[in-house]
Amino acid sequence: MTDLPPFLVALPLVASVVVLFAGLARSETGWPIATLAGLAQLGLAATLAYRVFTAGPISYVVGGYEAFYGIELVIDGLSASVVVLIAAVSLGVLAYARTAGPRGNPFYATYLLLVGGLTGVAVTGDVFNMYVFIEISGLTAYALVASGDTGRSAVAALKYLIVGTVGASLYLLGVGYAYIGTGTLNMADLSAMLAEVGYQSTLVQTAFAFIAIGLFIKTAVFPLHTWQPEAYAGSPDSVSGFISALVSTTFAYALIRISLSVFTPDFFAAVDLAQTLLIVGAVVSIVAGSLLAVSQTEIKRMLAYSSVSQFGLVLAGLAVLNQTAMIGATVHLLGHAVMKGGLFLAAGVIATATGAREVHEYEGLSERMPYAAGVFAVLAFSMVGVPPTVGFVGKWYIAVGAVEAQLWPLAAIILASTLLTLAYFARLVERMYFREPAAADDHVEGESAEPQPDAVVADGGRPSLGMYAAVLVAAALAVTLGAAVVPFAELLEPTLDLLLS
């Protein structure tokens, strides 16, 4: 028993308030405090993860109120991985955001609040408590998207707000149905009581449908993704890097958690339709997301649609419902966060230095920015799934899992997703390396004559060391994490055994 779990959530929340009030006394204090809090959070997360992986799951009853009224925090291998990811990525984005902006203490306060909310989603063991944290994360994410200070960010944030709230409300409806059926909100209790009520009960099935669809919206599964491309493309680069890496990831985690811990694989065995829902969502997302990504002209929108497709892959790993595929889903969940966050930040570095935000503006980029172009290419190829990168390993496990479960059409789509991903990244790489910059002068003149109102250009114009460092670390991790997957899978196995039993 340890008292650390509540601090995981409390630390960023308290730090957020500190940042806000420190800003009243002195501006420019946001970044140092946020970084300190981030470091502490990472240390805390690593300590807890170490304990979880060596000594098994930790649960903590908040305030000593046992269930049925109290709230329980549960950290097992899966949630510990996500918590470490959140802490690490938020620290990396802080390194980037220092010069890239947005500046000011309110931004850092919101940022920390989001970190707290996401961590809360990851560690809670109570479905209603999870709703609270989903709302905290959602609201702060809307605010961060709007921090771009342009008309485009505001519209994107409004759209995100409306669609995102619908998603959260659907989730809450689902929780309500489950509560009516069972009279409890604790995940562990729910899973037992739902089985007692009977999986064929309409109440239970409706609860699952509402929760799944709500989280589909939050995760941006096609066709419920409509908020996402604008939210990513319209927000400042630091923010799009952060939310693309963490927000959808955490909500996908929430879906996995609810599906496996609350409804359990038995539910899926009893209700074919539920598994079909997941599989169809996965397949449609993979295919449609890639096709939409190919047709984009703006880099960040393309990356956003790529996320739609990649989360389809994660969903596929969940839908297969066996251990191999779940390892794959977890690896891809974490790996995608690193790769996609890195790609958004790399796009930000490139845009800061050259103003290039469109696909055609990347022509001949390798000569102007060899390092940024190189990092972008490495991340792109690892997203495609070129071995031995982490993008490949995740896909391997999911594919092997799908074959083991003999879900042939799903396996075919998973494999074909490599080519679909290649379709939109290869054209970028080709433009960066094998095309002359198409009359670069014209573009510069064009932009200075008619500055794009929507473009969120950081001041400065020269990427800082921190910006480069964040991007380089992401690329290095994308390449090397692949080798760490086997030991990680061994650590994860006890958790998954428990979840899938």
Partner 1 sequence: MTEIYSLRPLAAVLVSAIAVVPILLSGRRPNLRESWTVLAALAKFGIIASMVPGVLSGTVYATRLGTFLPGVEFTLRADPLGLLFALLASLLWIITSFYSMGYMRGLDEHAQTRYFAAFAASVASAVGVAFASNLFVLFVFYELLTVATYPLVTHDETDPARAAGRKYLAYTFGGGVAVFAGAVLVYWLTGGVAFTPGGIADLANADPMIARLAFALLAGGFGVKAALMPLHSWLPDAMVAPTPVSGLLHAVAVVKSGVFGIARVVLDIYGPGLVGELGMGTILAAVAAFTLVVASVIALRQDNLKRRLAFSTVSQLSYIVLGLAVGAVAVGSPGNASAYALVGGLLHIPAHAFMKLTLFFCAGALHVETHTDDISNMAGIGRRMPVTMGAFAVAAAGMAGIPLVAGFVSKYFLLIGSVSAGGTTYAVALLVSGVLNIAYFWPVVYTAFFESPTERDPKPLVEGPLGGRFGAAASKLRSDGGPATERSGSSWDLQSDGGPATEGSGSSSDLRSDGGEPEDGDSEAEQDDHGFAADHEGQGIQDTVEAVEQLDEDHGEDDRLDWEHRRWTGEESTWLMLGPICFAAAGSVVLGIVPDLAVFLRIVRLIVAGATGVTI
DSSP label at residue 464: -
Q: Which of 436, 441, 442, 459 binds partner 1 (CB under 8 A)?
A: 436
Q: Is there a contact between 64 and 72 (Cβ–Cβ < 8 Å)?
A: no
- Taking alpha carbons only, the member of 177, 250, 214, 193 closest to residue 67 is 193
Q: For partner 1, which residue of 40, 291, 415, 491 counts as binding (CB under 8 A)? A: 415
DSSP string covering 419-454: HHHHHHHHHHHHHHHHS--TTHHHHHHHHHHS--SS
**What are the C-alpha distances in Å from 147 to residues 239, 319, 456?**
9, 36, 10
The three-state DSSP-derived secondary structure of 86-129 is HHHHHHHHHHHHHHHCCCCHHHHHHHHHHHHHHHHHHHECEHHH
With CB under 8 A as the contact rule, the residue among 130, 185, 400, 432 that binds partner 1 is 400
The residue count for binding partner 1 (CB under 8 A) is 31
Distance from C-alpha of 273 to C-alpha of 281, rounded to nearest angstrom: 12
The single residue among 216, 381, 468, 488 that binds partner 1, judged by CB under 8 A, is 381
- 393 binds partner 1, rule: CB under 8 A: yes
Nearer to partner 1, 176 or 374 (CB): 374
Q: Which stretch binds partner 1 (CB under 8 A): 18-26, 312-320, 344-352, 416-424?
A: 416-424
Among 169, 209, 435, 447, binds partner 1 (CB under 8 A): 435
CB 336, min distance to partner 1, A: 19
* Pick 418 or 464: Cβ nearer partner 1: 418
Q: Looking at 36, 419, 465, 469, which residue binds partner 1 (CB under 8 A)?
A: 419
> Which residues ranging from 479 to 498 are in contact with partner 1 (CB under 8 A)?
482-483, 485-486, 489
Residue 463 · residue 349 · CB < 8 Å: yes
Residue 348 bridge partners (DSSP): none
Q: Are 398 and 454 in contact (CB under 8 A)?
A: no
Smallest gap from residue 253 Cβ to partner 1 (A) = 23
Q: Does 320 bind partner 1 (CB under 8 A)?
A: no
Q: Which helix (H) or strand (E) holds 59?
A: strand 58-61
In the complex, minimum distance from the CB of residue 306 to partner 1, in angstroms, rounded to a whole number: 16
CB of 379 to partner 1, least distance (A): 13
**Strand residues in 271-345 grouped as ranges (E):** none
67 binds partner 1, rule: CB under 8 A = no
> Should residue 169 be labelled a site residue for partner 1 when binding is judged by CB under 8 A?
no
Distance of CA 415 to the CA centre of its chain: 22
Q: Is residue 87 close enough to count as binding partner 1 by CB under 8 A?
A: no
Query: In the Cβ-directed half-sphere of 107, how many Cα atoms lie within 13 Å?
Result: 25
Rounded least distance, CB 49 to partner 1, Å: 22
Which of 142, 210, 305, 396 lies at the binding interface for partner 1 (CB under 8 A)? 396
Closest approach, Cβ 392 to partner 1, in A, equals 8
Q: How far is the CB of 400 from partner 1 (least distance, A)?
A: 5
The DSSP symbol for 68 reads: T
User: How many alpha carbons fall within 13 Å on the CB side of residue 454?
Assistant: 15
In angstroms, what is the minimal distance from the CB of 282 to partner 1? 17
Q: Which is nearer to partner 1, 51 or 435 (CB)?
A: 435
Record the tokens describing residue 251, joined without a space. Answer: 């909500």
Nearest approach, Cβ of 423 to partner 1 (angstroms)?
8
Q: Which is nearer to partner 1, 242 or 397 (CB)?
A: 397
H-helix or E-strand containing 236? none
Interacting residue with partner 1 among 206, 265, 433, 498 (CB under 8 A) = 433
387 binds partner 1 (CB under 8 A): yes
Question: Which range of residues in 34-42, 66-74, 415-423, 457-465 is near partner 1 by CB under 8 A?
Answer: 415-423
Which of 59, 169, 206, 418 lies at the binding interface for partner 1 (CB under 8 A)? 418
Q: Tell me how far apart the alpha carbons of residues 108 and 125 are, in angstroms, rounded to a whole number.
A: 28
Question: Which of residues 158, 271, 287, 386 is near partner 1 by CB under 8 A?
Answer: 386
Element of type H or E holding 78? helix 77-100
404 binds partner 1 (CB under 8 A): yes
Interface pick for partner 1 out of 112, 365, 399, 470 (rule CB under 8 A): 399
Q: Rank residues 159 and 395 by Cβ distance to partner 1 and give the closer one.
A: 395
Q: Which of 357, 93, 378, 132 is nearest to 239 (CA)?
A: 93
Tokens describing residue 63: 């305030």
**Amino acid letter for position 424:** Y
Q: Residue 347 or residue 400: which is nearer to partner 1 going by CB?
A: 400
What is the Cα–Cα distance from 391 to 328, expressed in whole angstroms?
Answer: 10
- Burial bucket for residue 162 (CB in 10 Å: 0-12, 13-18, 19+): exposed
Q: Let me know how many helices (H) and strands (E) the chain has, helices first.
A: 21, 2
- What mask of x and - would describe binding to partner 1 in positions 195 to 234, judged by CB under 8 A? ----------------------------------------
**Given the rule CB under 8 A, which residues bind partner 1?**
381, 384, 386-388, 393, 396-397, 399-400, 403-404, 411-412, 415-416, 418-419, 422, 426-427, 430, 433-436, 482-483, 485-486, 489
